[in-house]
Amino acid sequence: MAEHDLTARMAGHLDCHLVLPLLEFLQERHLYPEEEILEAKIRLLRGTNMVDYAMDIHKSRYGTDDVPEDMVKRRTEVVSRLTSLGEAIDNIHQNQQIGPDQIETLYQYAKFQFDCGNYSFAAQYLHQYRALCTNIERSLSALWGKLAAEILMQNWDVALEELNRLKEIIDSKNFSSPLNQLQNRIWLMHWSIFIFYNHENGRNGIIDLFFQERYLNAIQTNAPHLLRYLATAVVVNKRRRNMLKELIKVIQQEQHSYKDPITEFLECLFVNYDFDGAQQKLIECEEVILNDPFLGKRIEEGNSITVPLRDEFLENARLFIFETYCRIHRSIDISMLSQKLNMRYDEGELWIMNLVRNSKLDAKIDSVSGTLIMTTNHVNIHEQFIESLKNLNMRTSMLAKNIVEPAQATQQATR
């Protein structure tokens, strides 16, 4: 399933330190030959100060304890520079005098620590630097660094705070230029995926952010591959089903620039009503999720390893198939429906039975004929009206948020 791997597309919008965890995941999944992954790591580490790590990767790649001379020389330079900056920071602490030169030294030290992979030190000094910095561009650069450090330390709550702070700055009217604003929004969405697929409220967060008009426009303009992560969040989030219609519309608009089994599954089911196609795509969806660094997170439970998002996605996707099929049929063969759900007959019958019982679906199972009989259900006009108001309320809230946030950011900037 390497054909559906998005790492190459994602890497162009990420700091090189953020790409390393993606390569680690691909290496564990054996999606590419081991030699290719190790070579990619070595190339990536050339842009950092993590020389010891690069040496270890080189030894592993070529099966030798010898390392190139340029790596040895580079290590000496890094140690020397780190020592020099450390002494400068000690002098600042001792003299307790802060001027432009000292503030610049603080930035250089924080950035150097980040490049060495010391993310805790980097986050600490970048926070101090931003409190003292008066240069808007440098302060923004430090905030990006602070966000990356918190992501790499997996401090998801703090990272989410930094993400929201960065979003306010990007969305403000004082931002440099529309083109630069667009690029920063695209970067922000790529970096946000680390947070949203690890934070406890992340699936709501990604829907709230990506469906904002300016961010949705950015996705359609330069990053349609992000639809995979938006679509997955909508599928597994039962409380946000009202966004499904909007999502399908965007997927249809972008089908010529991007598609994968997850977007194609939704298109087969809700546009073409192709249940056989949806069944096939659902099988492919499982592989895509398992091989995606953001979606395929594994959790050890005793002696077994589970992929929670895969299980949630399949469960909700089967529910989509079931609900859609039931809307257009009166009598349904359980055997045929089980096939479309990629389940054995006994599994399918039990799953349907539990679903009918728990969802209070107006249907009954005829065990003799092996069919599910749907009772005609006329749509209540009041329920339709209430549902439309829910969608209107959601759109109104998003519109108000788009207006209020830039205004608040402008007020803070003028203070």
From the list 176, 102, 159, 109, the residue with the least C-alpha distance to 132 is 102
Can you give the pLDDT at residue 360? 55
- Please name the residues in contact with 135: beta carbons below 8 A apart, sequence gap of 6 or more: none
Can you give the pLDDT at residue 262? 97
| Phi-psi group of 139: left, alpha or beta (phi > 0 → left; psi -120 to 50 → alpha; rest → beta) | alpha
Concatenate the DSSP letters of all residues of 134-186 into one string. --HHHHHHHHHHHHHHHHHTT-HHHHHHHHHHHHHHHHSTTSS-HHHHHHHHH
Residue 371, classed as helix, strand or coil, is strand
What pLDDT tens digit does each residue of the chain (415 aa) get? 578 999 999 999 999 999 999 999 999 999 999 999 999 999 999 989 999 999 999 999 999 889 999 999 999 999 999 999 999 999 888 887 788 899 999 999 999 999 999 999 999 999 999 999 888 889 999 999 999 999 999 999 999 999 999 999 999 877 778 899 999 999 999 999 999 999 999 999 999 999 999 999 999 999 999 999 999 999 999 889 889 999 999 999 999 999 999 999 999 999 999 988 999 999 999 999 999 999 999 888 777 888 999 999 999 998 898 888 877 777 778 888 788 778 888 888 888 888 777 765 667 777 777 887 776 555 566 766 776 666 677 777 777 777 777 667 666 656 5
Can you give the pLDDT at residue 49? 95
Can you give the pLDDT at residue 376? 56
- Looking at domain 329-374, which CATH architecture does it have? Orthogonal Bundle (1.10)
Distances (CA, A) of 323 to 312, 332, 373, 387: 16, 12, 13, 17
Can you give the pLDDT at residue 338? 83
**From the DSSP assignment, how many helices (H) and strands (E) are in the chain?**
20, 5
pTM, whole model, 2 decimals? 0.84
Distances (CA, A) of 240 to 84, 207, 211, 236, 247: 53, 8, 12, 9, 11
Can you give the pLDDT at residue 401? 74
Can you give the pLDDT at residue 305? 84
Residue 372, classed as helix, strand or coil, is strand
User: Measured between alpha carbons, how far is 178 from 184 in angstroms, rounded to an integer?
Assistant: 10
Can you give the pLDDT at residue 379? 56
Residue 374, classed as helix, strand or coil, is strand
For the chain, helix, strand, coil in percent to 5 are 75, 5, 20
At which residue do the structure tokens 């600490």 appear? Answer: 124
Strand ranges in 230-313 using DSSP code E only, listed in sequence order = 299-301, 304-306
